[in-house]
Amino acid sequence: MEILAGVGVTSARVGESRAVIESRVGPALRPGGKRLAVYPSHPVLIVTYGADDTAEMVEVGNDGGAEEVFFQGVQVTYRFMDEVVAELEARGHRAERHDMGYVFRSGFRIWSMGAVEPSEIDPDAFDDDPRLLVEGVTVAPYRDLVGAGR
């Protein structure tokens, strides 16, 4: 799945109504209240809606190596965070450390909660390997990303 920086993904874009998004992806698995909706896709799609029922943020999680998230052809999920940051910065996308990951001015944030062990992708990793894997990507305008916690 390819992200569109600052916009979302093809199936869910910031500014679109819940009705439009659900016409593409179907109903939410877990509505999560009025603001948060989890959709049945691979990788997992989570949309945060505003009071007017329009998408404010689009989040995509890693899929354990099955189908991952890309930005301009670079795989960003289910990879070591430092490698993703280095590759994107080499392509001119400046990263800023933020909360549980990095935010990019073009309109997305990569993050890790430390739930995926490095040994999942590196069989030579030690038990105490400190490297983090990117577990998800949040897409929204930059100003919204730096004002949000995750």
- pLDDT computed for residue 149 by the predictor: 47
Q: Is the bond into 118 cis (omega within 30 degrees of 0)? A: no
What pLDDT digit, counting tens, does each position of 81-131 carry?
999 999 999 999 999 999 899 999 999 999 999 888 899 889 999 988 999
Q: Which among 90, 46, 45, 55 has a CA at the least distance from the CA of 72?
A: 90
Distance separating alpha carbons of residues 36 and 38, to the nearest angstrom = 7
**How do strand 136-139 and strand 108-111 relate by DSSP bridges?**
antiparallel
What pLDDT digit, counting tens, does each position of 45-84 carry?
999 999 999 999 999 988 776 788 999 999 999 999 999 9
CA dihedral 65, 66, 71, 77 (to 10 degrees): -30
- List helix spans (H) across the chain: 18-25, 81-90, 142-147
pTM of the entire predicted model = 0.90
- pLDDT computed for residue 147 by the predictor: 79
- pLDDT computed for residue 143 by the predictor: 92
